[in-house]
Amino acid sequence: MAKARTVFFCQSCGAQSAKWIGRCPACGEWNTYVEEVVQKETVATTTGQWKPASTVPGGNLTKAAKSVPLGDILAEDEPRIITPDGELNRVLGGGLVPGSIVLIGGEPGIGKSTLMLQIALSLRKMKVLYVSGEESEAQIKMRAERMADGQHPGCYILTETNTQNIFRQIDQVQPNILVIDSIQTMHSTLVESGAGSVSQVRECTAEFLKFAKETSTPVLLIGHITKDGSIAGPKILEHMVDTVLQFEGDRHMSYRILRTTKNRFGSTSELGIYEMQGDGLRQVSNPSEILLSQRAESLSGMAIGATLEGNRPLLVEVQALVTPATYGTPQRSSTGFDSKRLQMLLAVLEKRAGLRLGQHDVFLNIAGGLRLDDPALDMAVCAAVVSSLNDLPIPGDVCLAAEVGLSGEIRAVSRLDQRLAEAEKLGFREMYVSHFNGKGLDLARFGLKVQAVSRLDEVLNGLFG
């Protein structure tokens, strides 16, 4: 038998060392090195491992890679796999790329397995292999029966955690798409440490990555997260995959947000919105109506802002509560909005609008659980704060989209035509924008009144008189 060897791995970045050290020289984290038992690859342990297409027939040698001039490389546009889920297609940049490997992370119980099983069942014309290391076949069958299309003859279920056995089944099934639930439960016989360890996660991901690139088969990996919200395992896991998706939301609320944090084939500013129902996840094709469905027009402290998430325009409700400070130091709290930017806008209101907010607590919330950083929400934040301070409601058919500068000037925002079209579609009659946004834009073709302003006091006078 081969002699076992122990190596120390950093749980943060995956760096390795022959002995334990207190601080990782690669990432600078303290007390992250753990000892794991590893074993060198042997002929006996490679049985069932994924064999690359470049293996020489009749031997274990592989062809050596050769350098090729850039001009001699033929770039072919491979068609993407368009799934029936429009929200997932938008987040991925237009669909699944053949040979790509996608990592999906999220809180426990948020709906990662439900989303992946729903995608597997919806791809009727493809053969999908769903590998689960966390649930039994009966549990997966029960979830599939709760969904609307729970019968799909081309969806194969495999409950296995050993990667060598998984590749044997892949050779038999020959799937078009592979789903792994989850990567932290997989283990390879090439590494003797336990499942979920740094070396196991790295080795198993490398095997699936090699399979995806050699066969042009998309691989979807479900990943666990730590208590601080990052993907469990070494940071190198996110570097190895092509796309990293984050499934967010409150388990006690029905809405879920699928956000891109890394994408080699598209934009990282897109998001998809779902609603969790009894029969699975429902796509929310028009999230503006959902985000504005519970607003009351007669209440103060509420303003509607027009924002953009990727290529999707959204109208969101900005809620503010301004009350006299009970203690000596006033509180500044924000949910879904940058707290430092909120303090900057409050300073602008004090300096340029003459408001006295130094003895008031200010609480800000973006309704619907969204986290936004679009500067176009600055005007809506200022309007909501002034509305709550003076207890004067803002008309329900008015929305705002502009950035506020430190001198109180109203600055232009990008793609105003999409924001105006979204506001018109939802029945808004008036919209406040920057005076500099009107250049080169035909405002007459929109069916709502556009108020072009250049200073913050003009906005406040127009809204509150």
Q: Give the annotated binding-site residues for ATP.
A: 106-113
- The sign of the torsion formed by the CA atoms of 364, 368, 373, 376 equals negative
Residues 101 and 36: their CA atoms lie apart, in Å, by: 27
How are beta strands 312-324 and 360-366 bridged, if at all? antiparallel
**CA-to-CA dists, residue 73 to 29, 69, 369, 441, angstroms:** 42, 7, 46, 43
Q: How far apart are the C-alpha atoms of 100 and 409, rounded to whole Å?
A: 46
Listed in sequence order, the residues at least 6 apart from 182 whose beta carbon sits closer than 8 Å to its beta carbon are 112, 133, 134, 221, 222, 223, 224
Q: Which residue has the tokens 């900057």?
A: 344
Residue type for position 312: R
Q: Which of 76, 115, 126, 124 is nearest to 92 (CA)?
A: 115
Q: Label residue 322 exposed, middle or buried (CB < 10 Å: 0-12, 13-18, 19+).
A: buried
- How many Å apart are CA 120 and CA 219, to the nearest integer? 12
Whole-angstrom Cα distance, residue 288 to residue 205? 38
Question: Which residues are documented as binding site?
Answer: 106-113
Bridge partners (DSSP) listed for residue 450: 431
